[in-house]
Amino acid sequence: MSNKVALVTGAAGGIGSAVVRTLAERQIQVAAVDRDGEHLAQAAKQFAADGLPVRTFTADVADPENVETMVDAVEQQLGPVDFLVNTAGVLRMGSARTQPLEDWSATFAVNAQGVFLVSRAVANRMVPRRSGAIVTVASNAAGTPRLGMAAYSASKAAATMFTKNLGLELAEYGIRCNVVAPGSTDTAMLWSMWQDDTGAQATIEGRLDQYKLGIPLGKLANPDDIAAAVEFLLSDRAGHITMHALTVDGGATLGG
């Protein structure tokens, strides 16, 4: 995988940053993309200090023109994109009956439309080269209902099925498209759901009042756990795997 080019969205987030580091440590040239320029710059300083081949690009994945301009810039500066990893995501908690429309729209703009726009822009450049691999980081919530997470779950389900459909369309060109579906991962997004310092243990043990199973392996995922799954699906070791969703949740959805 060395000397390839990867584009990673949501690169300033916990999982996105771990994916960037994992790929860069394989000597892949990484375009780290995020709309949060401040946090992206902070991450870039650490990558540079560690001597990793990472270049940053600020872009909003929900903006069609912004996406096309960003992908053009990546290919001009780093070369043809071999790998795309969609990790950009937002979480807006709320009841399906009362959640404001703006929260629903904002969730889908990033989690679903963002995957559509970036994947389309990169895929259209991969097709003439007849090579490439795409991984979308979705969620185990895409297939398991969660209280207060209707918008998030629905948007991740949309991103999952879009990626699988894209994989079917791109198979004739030798381009693979897969999904990694994390469960509870030790990131700022998960922390935002906790009410107090018992949040981690409650997540591991499960909540009967929320119809939520715990985690059989007895621990939260680390962002590196998710990054390792992404790296595998991009690699030649997964060369005959496409349109697959790999769940990485410690057994929280009991293999469902």
Token pair of 50 as six digits: 């560690």
Q: Which of 256, 252, 255, 254 is nearest to 214 (CA)?
A: 252
Token pair of 36 as six digits: 């949060």
* 8 A C-beta contact, residue 175 and residue 84: no
In degrees rounded to 5, what are phi and psi of residue 50? -90, 5
What's the CA gap between 222 and 212, in Å, rounded? 20
Q: Which of 142, 163, 137, 134 is nearest to 18 (CA)?
A: 137
Q: Does residue 152 have an active-site annotation? A: yes
What's the CA gap between 231 and 238, in Å, rounded? 9
Strands 176-182 and 245-248: parallel
Given the residues 152, 177, 187, 221, the one annotated as active site: 152
Look at the chain and count its residues.
256
Catalytic residue ranges: 152
